[in-house]
Amino acid sequence: MRFFSLLLLSVLFVSCSSSTPEDLSGEIDRLIAEEEYSRAIELLENADEREHEADIPELKEKTYLNYGLYLEYRGPEESSMRDRMTSALEQFIKVLEINPENEKARTEIQQIMGIYETMPDRSPGDEIVEDLQALGVEY
């Protein structure tokens, strides 16, 4: 009986313990695959780095990048192209705040900004332009 109680207690302890790094990384990968970016970001924002060995900034970078690509190329159908591009830029800015060397984010920003340059009197907004300039991206 004592053995059974000890076994049950250890199973409950393991099942109730914090997620392992693989669990967090796997959960983020699953949420990205299911295009649940807001949920992935929320999970990462609330993750305690002391409880996870996963590289949380790296997971955030990956999530923001994928979210930006989703918004840029597929995005919610009910939103306008301008809203999607502006939102994508916001995600790519977050990527560069984490990793200023992320070439994919820089390439996508250049592509979007190139489109804005072809539009008369169009801009993604002063705040975004300021954020981009602070990151070394001129518009």
The alpha-carbon radius of gyration of the chain (Å, integer) is 20
CA separation (Å) from 130 to 2, 11, 38, 55, 135?
65, 52, 24, 29, 9
Token pair 């390439």 in the structure block, residue: 107
**Looking at residues 54-70, what average pLDDT do you find?**
95
The DSSP letter of residue 54 is: S
User: pLDDT exceeding 70 applies to what percent of the chain?
Assistant: 83
Token pair 């001129």 in the structure block, residue: 138
**Looking at residues 120-139, what average pLDDT do you find?**
86
Helix ranges (H only) for the chain are 2-16, 21-33, 37-46, 56-73, 81-98, 103-118, 126-134
Contact 91, 65 (CB under 8 A): yes
CA dist 119 and 59 (Å) reads 35
Q: Report the pLDDT value the prediction gives residue 2, as an integer from 0 to 100.
A: 52
pLDDT above 80 for 77: yes
Instruction: pLDDT band for 22, please (50, 70, 90 cuts).
Output: low
Higher-scoring residue by pLDDT: 23, 98: 98
For 98-119, the pLDDT digits (tens) are 999 999 999 999 999 998 888 8
CA dist 41 and 45 (Å) reads 6
User: pLDDT exceeding 90 applies to what percent of the chain?
Assistant: 58
Most confidently modeled of 10-24, 30-44, 45-59? Answer: 30-44
CA dist 13 and 102 (Å) reads 40
**Looking at residues 1-14, what average pLDDT do you find?**
43
In b/e form, how buried is each residue of 108-134, taking b as 16+ CB within 10 angstroms? bbeebbeebeeeeeeebeeebbebbee
